[in-house]
Amino acid sequence: MMNAIMYTVDAENQVELEEKTQLINQVLELQHTLEDLSARVDAVKEEILKLKSENQVLGQYLENLMSASSVFQTTDTKSQRK
């Protein structure tokens, strides 16, 4: 009788240990996934900053081209009417 009780307790402990091990493994996997996602977010933020900087440079370049071109110069409508 005592052996049966001991076996039952050991079996319950084994099941509990396996469940805990599975949960620990799931938590570790989720932590790794979170780390990967966090690293990806950081990389995307850096890319966004780089693209914003490039856009500013291109915008300034276009402004300079437009100001240097007579096509984009403002005209004085009063002087044209005379």
Render pLDDT for 1-46 as a digit per residue (tens, 0 to 9). Answer: 556 666 677 888 899 999 999 999 999 999 999 999 999 999 999 9
Tell whether the model's pLDDT for residue 79 goes beyond 70. Answer: no
- Tallying the residues shown for the chain, one arrives at 82
Helices and strands (DSSP H and E) totals, the chain: 2, 0
Tell whether the model's pLDDT for residue 75 goes beyond 80. Answer: no
Tokens of 53: 């900087």
Residues 6+ apart with CB under 8 A from 73: 67
Decide: 49 and 41 in contact? Cβ < 8 Å: no
Tell whether the model's pLDDT for residue 67 goes beyond 60. Answer: yes
Instruction: State the pLDDT at residue 28.
Output: 98
**Can you tell me which residue has the tokens 């004085």?**
76
User: Once rounded to an integer, what is the mean pLDDT over residues 45-59?
Assistant: 98
Tokens of 73: 């110069």
